[in-house]
Amino acid sequence: MAETCKTAHRSWPIMDPMTATRRPDLTAASRFLATHGRLLDRARFAALLPQEDRRAAGHRILAALDGHRNPDGGYGLGLEPDLRAVESQPAGALHAFEALADAAEAGAPLPRGPVDGLLAWLGANALEGGPVPFALPIAEPAGCSPFWVEADPTEPSLQLTAPTVAHAHRLLTATGDAVLAADPWLADATAWCLAAIDEAASGDEAPFAYVVQFSLLLLDAVAEREPAAADLVARLGRHVPDGPLPVVGGIEGEVLHPIELAPRPGAPSRSLYSAATIDAELDRLVDEQRPDGGWTVAFRTNSPAAALEWRGFATVGAVAKLLAGGR
């Protein structure tokens, strides 16, 4: 476990005297989330830490997530920070499965009603063959980024479907739930994603950076169930540099780093990078902890509230990657 700073001023990265590796200040990260984070992200952070009651944190994840659930079984109400709309949205389903998987991995029981309701919502709102659109129509666009408001609800989106399916498979791996394993939407959406990734990997033009990221996330999540996953990772790797991947059309200098594309030790995506590259990435991630204890995001946000909520989300993600990497 990382050492913590005893003073109010910044004094990290902390050097481990045994290994000379740099580590973050988890106490400062906890204080940042207590001060600025959503209840959901505070619970997700607690669920990562071995000294916490992880099962209790998992229950808190489920309680916080329930505040974003709609009567139709889907999720909205700002669960995606830049999508403040009330209506259930594919992005809400993505984040809901992510939180459900976090809770399950922490030891919380599977909440039958929310999971079944979410699967039913996806089955009813997915497009032909299983994919979801980038966004559904939004009645009140206040606080929503334009790319959500302007999305075509009839166009299937690999960028949204792949991470949604990935986190559903994370939940399946954590629980072994027979209902989820047999769900027709999950089967159709998984098959659609694998075919779409195959097409993207076969082209000469590099796919959009976030499509690459979320495709790798899915392939890692299904690797033990899908024999084609490792080959697809290798083929996508043709479009992945040994370093930052530029986000075409993003803000100036926006990139996805190797640790974002391959966050899990031992996963197929890690084969795209050397151990030295990943070690340097972990150092970089430690160094990006801000003086207030949190991390930030390198993409455009739509409001001060969304920017702060993304910082809480990014802080949980950074700590998860660092802990997984032994930092």
CATH, residue 307: 1.50.10.20
Q: What is the pLDDT of residue 4?
A: 38
Tell me whether residue 10 is in a domain.
no
User: What is the Cα–Cα distance from 9 to 29, expressed in whole angstroms?
Assistant: 13
Q: Please spell the DSSP secondary structure of 83-152, one letter per residue.
A: ---SS--HHHHHHHHHHHHHHHHTTPPP-HHHHHHHHHHHHHHSPTTS--BS----S--TT--HHHHT--
Any domain includes 66: yes
pLDDT of residue 46: 97
In this structure, is residue 178 part of a structural domain?
A: yes
Q: Is residue 107 part of a domain?
A: yes
Question: Which pair of tokens denotes residue 262?
Answer: 């391959």
Q: What is the pLDDT of residues 247-304, one digit of tens each?
A: 999 999 999 999 999 999 999 999 999 999 999 999 999 999 999 999 999 888 999 9
72 falls within a domain: yes
The tokens describing 57, both together, are 């944190």
User: Does 30 reside within a domain?
Assistant: yes
Residue 8, domain member (yes or no): no
**Is residue 3 situated within a structural domain?**
no
Summary mean pLDDT of the chain:
94
Q: Which domain range does residue 301 map to?
A: 16-324
The residue type found at 10 is: R
Is the pLDDT reported for residue 18 higher than 80?
Answer: no
The two structure tokens encoding residue 4? 């913590």
Task: Give percent of the chain above pLDDT 70.
Answer: 94
Bridge-based pairing of strands 22-23 and 245-246 is unpaired
Domain count, the chain: 1
